[in-house]
Amino acid sequence: MKIINCTKEYAEPILDILNEAIVNSTALYDYAPRDLESMNAWFDAKIRNEFPVIGLVDEQNQLLAFGSYGTFRSWPAYKYTVEHSLYVHKDHRAKGYGKLILREIVNDAKRKQYHNLIAGIDSLNHSSKRLHEGFGFQFCGRIVHAGYKFSTWLDLDFYQLLLPTPNHPADG
């Protein structure tokens, strides 16, 4: 296995992982599977904003897991805060792959001088919460009934990790 920088050639395997999560879980508060065109726009935004798309592939170059981060809120004063996500292929969960991706996300955010990593996690996703807590993320709030999916109200928990960066924060 190796960590890679995913390019658009991984759009379909990423889409497969995302769509499985959309259809079968509350990891994404989305209803309909996404199409390949939406992935092109997603990759374009990542490239334009210099946000990573980190993948974990096996010896046959099959995508096992991926993660990324992006803009938390669009106002300028939030420039040191990013929100991340990570997903593991349904056949490869509980093997420690999420840890590998999250470690790379944290390291990349430090290299790029971000200060605050945010995770929005469904309140019932205990494995994701444990994963984040293992990296030092702390619970910082819950939005009750933030979403509605599978005929039930969903609560969204927020976790954050404060990084020792940036070295020289500045306004503007």
pLDDT one-digit tens code per residue, 45-56: 999 999 999 999
pTM assigned to the model: 0.92
CB 63 within 8 A of CB 89: yes
CB 106 within 8 A of CB 163: yes
**27-73, pLDDT tens digit by residue?**
999 999 999 999 999 999 999 999 999 999 999 999 999 999 999 99
Structure-token match 């946000």, residue found = 51
- Supply the pLDDT for residue 165: 94
Q: How far apart are alpha carbons 153 and 144 in whole angstroms? A: 8
CATH 3.40.630.30 fits 2-162, yes or no: yes
Characterize 25-52 residue by residue with b for buried, 16 or more Cβ atoms within 10 angstroms of its Cβ, and e for exposed: ebbbeeeeebeeeebeebbeebeeeebb
Q: How far apart are alpha carbons 123 and 97 in whole angstroms? A: 21
Q: How far apart are alpha carbons 35 and 106 in whole angstroms? A: 29
- Supply the pLDDT for residue 172: 82
Characterize 111-143 residue by residue with b for buried, 16 or more Cβ atoms within 10 angstroms of its Cβ, and e for exposed: eeebbbbbbebbeeeeebbebbeeeebeeeeee
- Res. 12: pLDDT tops 90: yes
Structure token digits, residue 35: 């199409």
Rounded to the nearest angstrom, the gap between the alpha carbon of residue 154 and the centroid of all alpha carbons in its chain is 19
